Amino acid sequence: MEIRWSSEGLPLPDPSTIDCQDEERFLALVRRNPANSLILERLPELHAPDAHLVAGCLFQTVWNCLCGKRPDADIVDYDIFYHDPADLSWEAENAVIERARTLFADLRIEVQVRNQARVHLWYGQKFGVACPPLTSVRDGIDHFLNQSSCFGVRPCDGATEVYAPFGFEDLFSMTVRPNRRCELPEVYYGKARRWAEAWPGLKVISWPGT
């Protein structure tokens, strides 16, 4: 396993300079994974507010394509975020989880569904640091610990909408960079090590101060 550790201060990408061709390339690669395409096609049937396909199944599909691997290789699960502050009970979230289980059963993949409006209820117990109530799915994506994990995709008005707050430069260069919205360096390094086992040659930027 090779991890290329770095503490260099690489410039942050400016989302305002994102080229439409980068977004088109991103979506084209994401859709090479049939599970991503089918989830996005069926996502409106889940009837979950502001539902997005997010995180690993997106950026890891891109890494697979860049490395010449099968698009779905080494992807553990497929994450769906939605945001419903009207009912913060576990029972309401579990009802959406059960709908997803039925909706995607034939894909034979692990689908994880989370209501971002109730993350603050369990985050502190799981990670040991508090998380303020998240105001939207995008707010949840903004809290991922690696900037090149920060992606969300959803069908919208007959098109496909991409949320990429840090752009695509780190993703296409296979760079893992800290996103310090939450101070969880140990979790960050744990993820980086697991990813490097599956995608050798990742460049991992050290968490500041570690």
pLDDT of residue 19: 65
In a domain? residue 184: no
Give the contacts of 170 (CB within 8 A, at least 6 positions apart).
Answer: 13, 147, 148, 176, 177
In a domain? residue 105: yes
CA dihedral 54, 193, 203, 62 (to 10 degrees): -30
Number of domains in the chain: 1
Region of 167 please: left (phi>0), alpha (psi -120 to 50) or beta.
left
Find out whether 35 and 72 touch, Cβ atoms under 8 Å.
yes
| Total-model pTM | 0.89
Would you write out the chain's pLDDT as a tens digit for each of its 210 residues? Answer: 344 444 444 344 455 545 679 999 999 999 999 999 999 999 999 999 999 999 999 999 999 999 999 999 999 999 999 999 999 999 999 999 999 999 999 999 999 999 999 999 999 899 988 889 999 999 999 999 999 999 999 999 889 999 999 999 999 999 999 999 889 999 999 999 999 999 998 999 999 987
**3-state SS string for 74-117:** CCCCEEEEECCCCCCCHHHHHHHHHHHHHHCHHHCCCEEEEEHH
Which residue do the tokens 């409106």 mark? 44
Return the closest-CA partner of residue 138 out of 42, 34, 44, 15. 15
* Pairing relationship of beta strands 159-163 and 152-156 according to DSSP bridges: antiparallel
Which residues constitute the domain of residue 108? Answer: 14-177
Task: Say which amino acid occupies 30.
Answer: V
In a domain? residue 100: yes
In a domain? residue 108: yes
Q: Which residues of 34-43 are buried (b: 16+ CB within 10 A; e: fewer)?
A: ebbeebbeeb
Tokens at residue 169, please?
């430069």
In a domain? residue 112: yes
pLDDT of residue 140: 96
In a domain? residue 102: yes
